[in-house]
Amino acid sequence: MLDRHLRPLIDPPLNRIGVWLARAGFGADLVTLIGLVFGLAAAVAIGAGQVWWGLGLILASRLADGLDGAVARATQPSDRGGYFDILADFGFYAAIPLGFVWLEPAANGLAGAALLGAFYINAASFLGFAILAAKHNLSTEARGKKSWYHAGGLLEGSETIAFFVAFCLFPAAFVPIAWVFAALCLVTALARVAAAAAQFRDQG
């Protein structure tokens, strides 16, 4: 929901850094990999009880996630890079709740599992829409230039990071925050299903 409003603010500085990184020899895929490593390290830190370290690594991971696209735009975007980027994103999204389940399995297990299930359904609605959009030659750059059709929704990348930050700031409140997060993921998925039903109703 917030991504389209934040892109005009964050893209210019990211693009400037992306040009510098490209000139320094960093490829977009390498930056994506660095972001994924930071994200997985954040989950490990959280599971080990170092939640503040986890927060810092989450923020570093998401900075890298923004920079990989900037590096790609400064060089040569590729479908392979887009594929790797979305795979890394979903790996990161799964890892952080798992870190909190690892931290307190008895207390956080059910809410964490529900959140991961909601992520799974939301991801299916997102990727399914992208597949059909590609089939019908739809495109959008409302959330930045992507290698795939980036369908919007109530929860997008910005809101997901906000919830992850909230988990780190208030780890004792993981359970209620996770249930709210899971419910909003399902609402987002249902909205995408409705949009797909309307968009592709009369198309083969």
Structure tokens at 11: 């893209």
The CATH number of whichever domain residue 79 belongs to comes to 1.20.120.1760
- CA pair distance 200, 86, nearest whole angstrom: 24
Specify if 115 maps to a domain: yes
Query: Range of 87's domain?
Result: 3-199
The per-residue pLDDT for 202 is 65
The per-residue pLDDT for 199 is 75
Specify if 106 maps to a domain: yes
- CA pair distance 36, 90, nearest whole angstrom: 10
Specify if 66 maps to a domain: yes
Structure tokens at 181: 């997060």
Q: Structural domain tally of the chain? A: 1
The per-residue pLDDT for 152 is 60
Residue 46: C-alpha distances to residues 54, 103, 116, 169 (Å): 5, 7, 17, 12
Residue 33: C-alpha distances to residues 81, 95, 132, 134 (Å): 10, 15, 28, 26
The per-residue pLDDT for 26 is 92
The per-residue pLDDT for 103 is 97
Tens digits of residue pLDDT in 49-75: 999 999 999 999 999 998 998 998 888
Residues 6+ apart with CB under 8 A from 176: 111
Write down the pTM of the prediction: 0.86
The per-residue pLDDT for 203 is 58
- Residues of the chain falling short of pLDDT 50: 143-144
The per-residue pLDDT for 143 is 46
